[in-house]
Amino acid sequence: MSKNQKNGSIVAIITMCFIYAMISFVTNMAAPFGNIWGNTYNWAGMMGNMMNFAAYLFMGVPAGVMLTKYGYKKTALIAMAVGVVGLLVQYISSIFGADIDTFTVGEQTVKLNLLIYLLGAFICGFCVCMLNTVVCPMLNLLGGGGNKGNQLLQIGGSFNSLTGALTPFLVGALIGTVTSSTSMSDVSPLLFIGIAVFAISFLIICFVSIPEPQAEVTERISCWAPLKFRHCMLGVIAIFFYVGIEIGIPAQLNFYVSHMTFEGAAAVGGALAAIYWFLMMIGRFSSSIISRYVSTSMQMAIVCSAAIIFLLVAIFLPESMTFSYDGHEIPIKCIFIFICGICTSIMWGGIFNLSTEGLGKYTPAASGLFMMLVVGGGVMPLIQEAIAKAIDPITSYWLVIAMLAYILYYSLIGYKNVNKDIPV
């Protein structure tokens, strides 16, 4: 590799890591924003998150097609522009529609501002879906796949987790305590920060050279072709469950603590959720160091087993066992929930790395399929919330344990490529 090529790769890696950070910043707004809407509509707590991830179902495959047709750079630029629109629409919900009735759910009249917000969350989902489609295969390819590819994915994931930790913390600080007067206008500074970062990112990417490996492939490849590989198909299912795990663990923890009866509960809930994302950053950074020496499948099996154990402890620990946080008594079980961040940290990059190993020319199409199944981050937390409301938030973590069990199976057995005879 020449000096210019090496410098170009470094710039491309830095750019991809920056985009990776923005994905989490935007995505992680939805769950803490749910504290605002859930206080007005008891069914709406996870609806913003659902709309954000529902967009993946519609945009996943088209994003893979865009990647093949227009390349990584143009797809990223389109995504940034869409992100600005989505955040602007969410801001509009803070200044318009609060006095306009639309329809009734049960005994609650739904105002127009909620629908506007949900539309904004849906548009942002298109944005982060396209960005994910760009970032994951690019980092894996820049690392050459295998352990080195996973190493770069974990480095990018560290930046992703850093912004993921900041978002619920900032939302909690802006809201303080959720009351009947709390609204989206309270968190509008965060929306403007996101708009500004997207605009700056757009300008930076305009002047950055990004490798376009898909340009060398002239053959027309079906978006469903990667499913011929069993390890890819099972990996797509694993991603569906994983994103539900990643979002569901801190979201229910946030709701659980935010609804405790003390002043500033929302801020404490946001802070504990932020610790989860901070631990994800530590886990990904640690994985980036050891990935040259420890296989991805081994790392995945270890963290899946640990997460299952932590959640079992959290479920069975009595609420009477507490620790003091910011002058308030919080159940110790919360510690075992947010410590799962160290475990879930490497799963996204690990699953993508294992599932695309040996796919060659099918990688861009596989990336589109992965993004489509990220809809699990909306579906599974919604099911978890239904369990939480029907029984209690802690019991809802049995669903998370079941999903972790599947990923453990994938890490030990399902990841193996049994279709090596297919030309790639």
Domains annotated for the chain, with CATH where assigned, are 3-414 (1.20.1250.20)
- HSE, side-chain direction, 13 A CA sphere, residue 80: 22
pTM: 0.77
pLDDT digits (tens, 9 = 90+) for 117-134: 999 999 999 999 999 888
Tens of pLDDT, residue by residue over 245-262, are 998 999 899 888 888 877
CB 272 within 8 A of CB 331: no
Tell which wins on pLDDT, 267 or 232: 232
Predicted pLDDT of residue 162: 81
328-384 pLDDT, tens per residue? 889 999 999 999 999 998 998 899 889 988 888 888 788 888 888 988 988 899 899
Name the token pair of 229: 């590989």
**How many other CB atoms are found less than 10 A from the CB of residue 13?**
17
> Binning pLDDT at 50, 70 and 90, where does residue 218 land?
low
Distance CA 250, CA 256 (A): 10
* Average pLDDT value for the chain: 86
Residue of 296, 362, 360 lying closest to 153 (CA atoms):
296
